[in-house]
Amino acid sequence: MSEASAELRLNEAAVKRTDADLATASSAGDPAAFGELVLRHQDRAFNLALRLTGSPEDAADAVQEAFLKAYRGMPSFRRQSSFYTWLFRILVNEVRSRRRSGSARVLSFSLDAAGGRSAERGDPAEGPAGLQSNGPDPSEQASLAERRQIVEEALQSLEFDQRAIIALRDIEGRDYAEIAEVLGCPQGTVKSRLHRARMALKDVLAPKLGPAPQ
């Protein structure tokens, strides 16, 4: 498997233009190159915005605006950072400023559908809660959707910066250095802020999620 996949990867790398290439091309006035960048990053950007805003509508707005700002600011894009971190920095600031301008909304959407979907068919990974059950347990499925809803709400109850750092780390899976770049703070700060944010979330969540499933 390794050889075939290595070859595949090599070919892909040869054909694929890097983000940096695309950024250069789009700042030189190639909208198609920018379109490719949008395509590459829109899902992640949308998911981050979703966790930050708590609303798909606001998330889509913010992402769209962030991309436009990125396009306009492309000439100022420094190549030291990746396009990803640069875009996300713009996005986080965009969401933040939108909130300030008073358009903040209360969390109003539910991901029940998503939870229900992945929970069907016995949900082979009901998470650790499913440790001992092999078969589908309706109450468990319901509780998965519920649990996600609780987590969503708890996340939204945090301060914006705490939410942002948790989303970047635990949803986006970015490392401390990248988070530092996105948030524009030192790595050490990321570490302490992340800890505080997670502890805050834990304090909200722990009583709601109950004790460890047996």
Partner 1 sequence: MNCEKVIGQFSAYLDGQLTVAEREAVRSHIADCARCREELDALARTVYAVADLPRLRAPADLRDQVMSNLDRAAPAEAHQPRWRMYWGAAAAVGFAVVIMLLTRQATPRRAGPEAVALAGKNAETGEVALAERGGSGGAKGADEKLLRKAANVEPIGGTADSLKASQLEATPVATVSSGQIVAIAPVSSEQIVLPSANPRAAYFNAVRVAAKGGWLPAELQKRAADGELLKSADAEQRAHQDQVLQLAFSLKRSQVPALRNALAVAGLQAAEEKNDRGEEAQPTNEGVPSLAFAPARRDLDSASNVAPAESHFGFKDRSAAANPATAAANAPARAAMKAPEGAAGAEAAAPRQSMALAQKKAGPAEAATPQQAQKAEAAEEPLVQVTLLFPLAESPVPAAAPAAGAANSGTPE
- Positive or negative torsion for Cα 156, 159, 165, 169: negative
Binding region for partner 1 (CB under 8 A) out of 52-60, 85-93, 99-107: 52-60
Matching residue, tokens 């770049």: 181
Does position 12 bind partner 1 by CB under 8 A?
yes
Q: Site mask, partner 1, residues 18-37, x = CB under 8 A?
A: xx-----------x--xx--
CA distance 192 to 204: 19
Helix (H) or strand (E) holding 118: helix 112-119
> Quick one: which segment of 48-56, 86-94, 96-104 binds partner 1 (CB under 8 A)?
48-56
Q: Least distance from C-beta 37 to partner 1, angstroms?
A: 10
Select from 78, 101, 106, 134 the one that contacts partner 1 (CB under 8 A): 134
**Residue 87 in the binding site for partner 1 (CB under 8 A):** no
Q: Quick one: which segment of 88-96, 100-108, 195-203 binds partner 1 (CB under 8 A)? A: 195-203
> In the set 108, 125, 159, 184, which binds partner 1 (CB under 8 A)?
125
Which one of 25, 52, 63, 91 is in contact with partner 1 (CB under 8 A)? 63
Give the Å distances, CA to CA, from 133 to 129, 140, 142, 145, 213: 8, 10, 15, 18, 12
Binding mask 159-188 for partner 1 (x = CB under 8 A): -------x--xxxxxxxxx-----------
Residue 106 vs 131, nearer CB to partner 1 = 131
Residue written as tokens 């986080």? 92
- Which of 137, 146, 152, 153 touches partner 1 (CB under 8 A)? 152
Q: Does 130 bind partner 1 (CB under 8 A)?
A: yes
